[in-house]
Amino acid sequence: MAAKNAFYAQSGGVTAVINSTACGLIQEARRHPDQIGKVYAGRDGIIGALTEDLIDTSLETDEDIARLRHTPGGAFGSCRYKLKSLEQHKAQYERLIEVFKAHDIGYFFYNGGNDSMDTAWKVSQIAEKMGYPVVCVGVPKTVDNDLPHTDCCPGFGSVAKYVATSIREAGYDVASMARTSTKIFVLEVMGRHAGWITAACGLASGNAGEPPHILLFPEVPFDPERFLARVDECVKQYGYCTVAVSEGLSDAAGKLIAESGTKDAFGHSQLGGVGQVVAQLIKDKLGYKYHWALADYLQRAARHLASKTDIEQAHALGVAAVNLALQGKNAVMATVERLADRPYRWQIGDAPLAEIANVERKMLPEFISADGFHITEACRTYLQPLIEGEEPPPYRNGLPDYIRLKNIAVPKKLEAFAI
Amino acid sequence: MAAKNAFYAQSGGVTAVINSTACGLIQEARRHPDQIGKVYAGRDGIIGALTEDLIDTSLETDEDIARLRHTPGGAFGSCRYKLKSLEQHKAQYERLIEVFKAHDIGYFFYNGGNDSMDTAWKVSQIAEKMGYPVVCVGVPKTVDNDLPHTDCCPGFGSVAKYVATSIREAGYDVASMARTSTKIFVLEVMGRHAGWITAACGLASGNAGEPPHILLFPEVPFDPERFLARVDECVKQYGYCTVAVSEGLSDAAGKLIAESGTKDAFGHSQLGGVGQVVAQLIKDKLGYKYHWALADYLQRAARHLASKTDIEQAHALGVAAVNLALQGKNAVMATVERLADRPYRWQIGDAPLAEIANVERKMLPEFISADGFHITEACRTYLQPLIEGEEPPPYRNGLPDYIRLKNIAVPKKLEAFAI
């Protein structure tokens, strides 16, 4: 069989290590020139395929591709753009196949979360139906850590390491100041539906009394009275209290706590601000001075503090995706399989896209402590290996030295297509 | 002369490297047992002296003292507690001398900012007057970088490195997402009166178009129209726009912008939130989707990303303070003197406390670009060396391994004293 080109796209919110996957994938593809011609990347994700805006990664040097391993963000651009059902968006799926055909693309690698796996699965179906078979392989990526059939999702381990480090460091700060000044510190972290990132903050407190003292999960309805009682208990016992709160914290009726606070003045519903709401609640009811931080994009872009485990898994999954495709494994996602907890051992596996698309993996109930305010030992056992190891980027002039690729476009061959 | 004990206190907001100063100071004192007996530290800063709550640092091992070099926060606790004039608080100054006398303390090292240098100076005066001479040496510390007579202030270089790294990383993230999602990213940083930290963010943009695109300084009155025009220009030119804003951003009348926004609902004036105010302004007027982050304590506690230059200067100033004291230099502060910009060369100097107390060093006007939205080359030349070099802490279980000292109290000899 003559070599076919490959198409790779990054999807959804980017991470500190999604480029490590791109790095592994492109490097591995370059090792098989007899089977894979060029790797084209979608500029701004799947939109690049729809608009035939392809990037020719063969024009990047091996050195620059290697530097993707230590560069955060999405090197080719990403997008939040979900293709709907085949019925609703049939023209778009057909356009994808048309673009693939025009550029002799025989492999489709989609690097994303749930929605992307759903899209990859649908593309594999329609390609078959249209008589232009394309091997479709999903590559997991999401800080939300909510994909099934894989031990974890690349991107999550690095966010986990960042938030746990950050709340530990802020805890040292607050502990110093608590006698006469700030007694409360609240860190708001990502996680709309699942508390994985909030749980990761808990890794910083190895012993009783160490920050963070309280975790507020989206899975546990917020009970102000119980929360305030626990805060007060911590301040009386330790002199201060640190809290990690998920952006998705909700009350018993399912209403976001973020929407009950400072946001009303503007009348908008964008998340971000629940940290201040709970901090201000403490101030109002208990009178303690607070500080709060909103990590936002800093947490998922912090390549300078990425987990080596995460970087390695992200890279290995990129490599694996190519090998799965070369084995003709269609409509699967490369996965991480845990073999042992401590020391952590893992291997690459794969799972059918059909079983992954639109299935969300929730936090396990047994990972949350009985009082709802912390993590259990079982949770630590699961999370601990994911944050281990450091692989700092090179520094130049005191700052991480990241790469911006040339990202040269492949000449278009088709008519324009409106998305 | 028989050896006298020394008293060391940390003051005001702590930093990622104030313990590096403590480390240098205690290590150097231990090298002169003939002249310095024990180093006592104030528990929670100067309050520890007033309440005779002294920590015996001689009970800590050399290894643990060495670990202070890589531990953020204040190892002995700090406080926001300013002694007023000698007339108003005479009893407190007398109490200090009484405690010093009771514990045979002949050296007073005060590690802080402007207020602390003022206190150290006053103590030197009253000690003389009360016939119990104490050698008083100030050691600079403040992320605000606003002490005169020193090239920079320990703590600042590490915050500078953290914020510049953070906005660079977030910039890579936003650039990836901008086509279909977030186009605006705002990072709020510390700096109530001086824009040093905001300026440091500017180091991340070496070339035109690189994040951060806009800096909002407290020194430049906020002009919403001009700001929005510049934001729109950036989005049209680069596809996105990143902004670093100082918590102290004010309008032409001197009113804090933070107080014009989300804070009103609660009616409190604590800073923090200006980032959201300007981001929301962009959304309301230009319609661009935004994300914003509030670094808060994370920026000044981030020892994992501290500047090696900063760590070394902090340590050297602790060492120097002891040597100044042993030379009998009373009422001085140890300083950093810049000898050359590139490569950066510096040496330790000293300056009279009387010339430092309550003098604030502002950002130089020539450090802000003509349009008020960025830094000049002169500013880069000044700031660049302060963020250079890395000296990461040791990691254990994937997280920085910081030390908590035993902090054993010295037995009290005096009656209690109400503060």
| Domains delineated in chain B | 4-141+303-357+389-400 (3.40.50.450), 156-301 (3.40.50.460)
Q: Are B348 and B315 in contact (CB under 8 A)?
A: no
Give contacts of A300 with chain B, Cβ < 8 Å.
Answer: 173
Q: Is the pLDDT of residue A271 over 50?
A: no
Q: Which of B14, B166, B177 to mutate to test the interface with A (most CBs of A within 10 A)?
A: B177
Size of chain A in residues: 419
Question: Three-class SS string for B326-372?
Answer: HCCCCCEEEEEEEEEECCEEEEEEEEEHHHCCCCCCCCCHHHECCCC
Return d(Cα A125, Cα A326) in angstroms, integer: 19
Contact A181 B402 (CB under 8 A): no
Give the model confidence (pLDDT) of B291-328 as tens digits. 999 999 999 999 999 999 999 999 999 999 999 999 99
User: Residue B161: its chain A contacts at CB < 8 A?
Assistant: 398-399
pLDDT for B1: 62
Among candidates B165, B272, B395 on the partner chain, residue whose Cβ is nearest the Cβ of A304: B165
Contact A272 B273 (CB under 8 A): no
pLDDT digits (tens, 9 = 90+) for B136-153: 999 999 999 999 999 999
Q: What number is the average pLDDT over the span A343-361?
A: 94
Question: What's the pLDDT score for residue B213?
Answer: 98
Instruction: Please list every residue in chain A whose beta carbon sits closer than 8 Å to the beta carbon of residue B264.
Output: 265
Please say if the pLDDT value at position A22 is more than 60: yes
Whether the CB-CB separation of B109 and B25 falls below 8 Å is answered with: yes
Mean pLDDT over the full length of chain B: 94
The pLDDT > 70 percentage for chain A reads 97
DSSP state of A261: T
Q: Where does B161-232 show beta strands of DSSP type E? A: 184-189, 214-216
Distance between B124 CA and the closest CA of chain A, angstroms: 25
pLDDT (0 to 100) of residue A270: 44
A interface test, pick of B82, B179, B238 with most A CB neighbours within 10 Å? B179
Tell me the pLDDT band of B262, cut-offs 50, 70 and 90: very low
Identify whether the C-beta of residue A249 lies closer than 8 Å to the C-beta of residue B263. Answer: no
Asked if pLDDT for residue B264 goes beyond 50, the answer is no
Cβ–Cβ below 8 Å for B79 and A181: yes
Angstrom distance (rounded) from CA B311 to CA B36? 25
**Cβ–Cβ gap B283/A304 under 8 Å:** no
Residue B270 has pLDDT above 50, yes or no: no
H or E element in which residue A271 lies: none
Residues of A in contact with B164 (CB under 8 A): 398-399
ipTM value: 0.96
Q: How many CB atoms lie within 10 A of CB A299?
A: 29
